[in-house]
Structure 1
Amino acid sequence: MPEQTESKRPMRPEPTSFMTGLFLWTEWGMEWILYILRQMALFEILDILGKLSILVGVIFFVCEAEDRKEQKHLEAWRAIASMRNQPGNGGRIDALQSLNKDKVALMGIEVQRAYLSLINLQEANLQEANFSGSALFQANFEKAILYKAIFGCISQTALDRKCTDLYKANFQAANLSNAYLSGDLRNTSFVDASLLNAQLVKVNLQGANLDRADLKGTHLECVEGLTPEQIKHAKNWQDAHYDDKISQALGLPAKSKVNCSVLQLNSSTNRLEESVR
């Protein structure tokens, strides 16, 4: 075994007066006590154990990281579930953003009537999610998967309905195939978005950006604020479904059979549909 380095013995002080002697002799005595303790193996072991306990604490902290993440996810899901069909935020913005940040799939999530303005759900998996009646002003859904998602309406009273507020929302490069949207979509960005077979029924698309959006099979009947110039910036716009007025403006044959005047809310699906007479 290698020899341990011996601690330097305390040197005897040479005081020049009683007061300095009192201080120096006391200090010398304490140095001797410390010197003796340092020679004892027990204190070396205690020093090693102290360092070892820090190492063990770090190991436990790393090992329990996954458990802490699962607990955080559980709390986020509880916050969302506790506010189901309730108005307001109720912590749902933070909960949804936290889950999405950890790449948790949010497929089929129910967040109706929620206040989610300015929420960032970029690249989220929101397949078949239901946002009916929610406020999503300037929400960010860039590159999100929104296949069959519902942004519909809900009944406020027997004579009133509340549809989604997607004013200035960002759906750039999002997958909205077979999705349903109804409400305020003014100044919304659909740049490079996929709207294959999506239904945009009785929405306000004033100022919406459809540049390079894929409109193949998209239903755009009964919309407001939509101009031929907006539509022609999209891809496959000739293959979309329009009402007679827009079809005429685009120089396309009229083929829609939708009667915009009799659209009513189906409370079971949150969609505007033609009433059955």
Structure 2
Amino acid sequence: MGEILIKTFAEYLQEDWTPEVAQAWVDTYMTISGLMLEGAGVDVAVKLEQPEIKAIPFTPLTRETVSPKRRRGGRKMRAVSEQLNLSKVTRPILKPIKLIQNSFKMILDWFWKSPTWLVAISIASILAILFIFIPDGSIISRLLSYVDPISIMAALILYIKESPDRKKEFHYQAWSVIDAAHGVKVSPARIIALQDLNEDRVSLNNLDLPGAKLVRINLPKADLSEANLTKSDMNHANLNHANLGNALLARVNLTGVNLSYANLGFAKLSYANLSSANLCYANLICADLRDTNLSGANLSNANLSGADMKNAYLTGANLEGANVSEYDLRGAYLKGAIMPDGSKHA
């Protein structure tokens, strides 16, 4: 391999291939070979001297001169060789780094799992030990002389430690606002509380808000599975990618709502108003859509398999690419609707 490499350089560099350049490349190649053999545990003595370059015919290696099978085999062997050599070289370097990572992980786990009073006492004890045992005049001693910055740092650490407790308290207050507004039709505070909880990825499943006014509420990716929102007003709400599986949505005002990519499987939507709603790519498998107003709704690429659409109003709706059979659509009003195949219903 070394001879072929040197010969290749000589063929391409020609007048630039001086004896000094040749010897430098030979030394480099032999050194690397020796290190690789040593890393692989092969007891081979490598001589750092220029080998005799035999008169071998030079043929440039191209995709045409190498068979596909040989190319694949060569790539596989190179990948395995590189991986083995890399692991030999990097293992001694990565071992202390991994030890530091594991130690840091253990400290973090202890920090978050331990009670606040224990963390505070531990920090105070560490500072006290440093004050007692660090020699005067050292860098650490001079740093510790700045008591105020250290106090601020300790306070910051405790603030970070208590952040999960503060978040729990915030969530408790948000749920208290929602519970206090139960039975109240209009409550702006309830809307804000629901949005804040959803931003923190708190599940809203089994939410019980029948008849609530939630106009333009912003709940993307919300988990509202099995929620009871019967007769509520959610017109122009943002519920894209939300999970409303098995939710009770009968007679809900969902005019202009964004339900793209939402899950509405087995949801009860009878007599709901979904006119001009965006339901593209929505999952409506086995949904109850009896007497539902879907006029002008965008149902492109939605999955309506098994949905009950008896007396559903789909006038002017876009069903292009939707997964729905003629059997499922047999009881719906389809005047002016764009059918799954792209044709317009007569």
- The answer to whether TM tops 0.5 is yes
Structure 1 position 244, deviation (Å)? 7.1
Aligned to 2:166: 68
Q: Which residue, 220, 223, 236 being the options, matches 2:324?
A: 236
Q: Do the aligned partners of 1:86 and 1:112 also contact (CA within 8 Å) in 2?
A: no
Aligned to 1:196: 285
Query: Secondary structure in 2 aligned to 1:200?
Result: coil
Query: Secondary structure in 2 aligned to 1:205?
Result: coil
TM-score after normalising by structure 1: 0.65
Q: Which residue, 235, 238, 243 being the options, matches 1:145?
A: 243
Structure 1 position 203, deviation (Å)? 1.9
Matched AA of 1:125: D
Aligned to 2:218: 120
Taking only aligned residues, the RMSD between alpha carbons, in angstroms, comes to 3.0
Q: Distance in 2 between matches of 1:176 and 1:63?
A: 40
Aligned to 1:55: 153
Alignment of 1:169-208 (within 5 A): 169-181=257-269, 182-208=271-297
The Cα offsets for residues 62-100 of structure 1, whole Å up to 9 and x where unpaired, read as: 001000100110011111111112210241111111111
Matched AA of 1:196: I
The Cα offsets for residues 134-176 of structure 1, whole Å up to 9 and x where unpaired, read as: 1111111111111101112xxxxxxxxxx31101001101110
The Cα offsets for residues 23-52 of structure 1, whole Å up to 9 and x where unpaired, read as: xxxxxxxxxxxxxxxxxxxxx999532222
Q: Do the aligned partners of 2:315 and 2:333 also contact (CA within 8 Å) in 1?
A: no
Structure 1 position 236, deviation (Å)? 2.5
Summarize the Cα distance change of 1:229–1:96 in structure 2 as closer, same or farther, 3 Å threshold: closer
Structure 1 position 227, deviation (Å)? 3.4
Q: Do the aligned partners of 1:228 and 1:250 also contact (CA within 8 Å) in 2?
A: yes
Alignment of 1:1-277 (within 5 A): 48-152=146-250, 163-181=251-269, 182-224=271-313, 226-227=314-315, 230-231=318-319, 233-240=321-328, 242-243=330-331
Query: Secondary structure in 1 aligned to 2:196?
Result: helix
Matched AA of 2:303: D
Aligned to 1:29: none
Summarize the Cα distance change of 1:47–1:242 in structure 2 as closer, same or farther, 3 Å threshold: farther
Q: Distance in 1 between matches of 2:273 and 2:177?
A: 27
Q: Distance in 2 between matches of 1:48 and 1:229?
A: 71
Query: Secondary structure in 2 aligned to 1:64?
Result: helix
Q: Do the aligned partners of 2:303 and 2:322 also contact (CA within 8 Å) in 1?
A: yes
Q: Do the aligned partners of 1:217 and 1:239 also contact (CA within 8 Å) in 2?
A: no
Q: Do the aligned partners of 1:185 and 1:204 also contact (CA within 8 Å) in 2?
A: yes
- Work out which structure has the larger RCO, using CA pairs closer than 8 Å and 6 or more positions apart in sequence: 1
Matched AA of 2:171: H
Q: Distance in 1 between matches of 2:242 and 2:159?
A: 33
Matched AA of 1:185: L
Q: Distance in 2 between matches of 1:207 and 1:78?
A: 39
